Amino acid sequence: MKSLDEYLQDAAVAHGHLCAGQILGVRLAMFGLRQLVLEDPQGKDRKRIVTFVEIDRCATDAVMVVTGCRLGKRALKFRDWGKMAATFVDVETGKALRVAARESSKALAKGLHPEIADKNQQQMLAYRELTDDQMFQTEWVRVDLPAEEFPGYKGERIVCAQCGEGINFRREVRQEGKILCRGCAGERYYQPLS
């Protein structure tokens, strides 16, 4: 595994700047991988890791940098729960650890560096100094991953009976005897204008 500073440089490039969320995300991912004894996430261990992130903020970019998990590789899973947390799954052993940032870490950062007025700068410095126990709470968990959730899964492609678009990875919906995509089944996040 790279050093904290090396990952922070990579995270700044990937995210466009370095902020407290990047430092938190790098630390969170490094801690999770160390607990699973996955020491080479970009090398020999890269196909062993699936990561679930629970927020679409700065820390998620940092988690991607450390783990090497990407949406496009089907190794990064997003659950929109609004929590600064991630679950790291070793698909080889089945072990999984959920790591969440302690809400108290913000107050600890303020107490550690009251001389810094800017909250982001205060947290950036403190998040380098606080211990893992001060920053994170952890929980060993079980994550059931069906075959279609694994990286590299090649599954059947189904065509939606209504719109004709292809559907991958068993994401189709059966409704009134038809096979539909989620959009045609009423789960749209968009509304057609025509």
CATH number at residue 192: 3.30.60
Question: Residue range 116-132: average pLDDT?
Answer: 94
Tens of pLDDT, residues 89-111: 999 999 999 999 999 998 899 89
- Are both 31 and 100 inside the same structural domain? yes
Please report which residue ranges of 42-179 form alpha helices under DSSP H: 58-67, 104-112, 119-129, 132-135
pLDDT(54) > 90: yes
Based on the fold, state whether residues 41 and 129 are members of the same structural domain: yes
pLDDT, residue 150, reads 79
Whether 56 and 8 share a structural domain: yes
182 and 136: one domain? Answer: no
**Backbone phi, then psi, for 181, in 5-degree steps?**
-75, 165
Considering the chain, what is the average pLDDT of its residues?
92
Residue 170's alpha-carbon distances to 77, 174, 184, in angstroms, are: 16, 11, 15
Place 169 in a pLDDT band, splitting at 50, 70 and 90.
confident
- Secondary structure of residue 57 in the 3-state scheme: coil
181 and 102 inside one domain: no
CATH number for 80: 3.30.1330.130
Domain that holds residue 106: 4-146
The pTM of this model reads 0.86
Contact between 96 and 50 (Cβ < 8 Å): no
* More confident position, 167 or 190: 167
Give the residue-averaged pLDDT of 172-194. Answer: 91
Residues 184 and 140 in one domain: no
Considering its fold, how many domains does the chain have in total? 2
Domain boundary among 146, 170, 185: 146
Same domain, yes or no: 182 and 135 = no
CB atoms closer than 10 angstroms to residue 11? 27
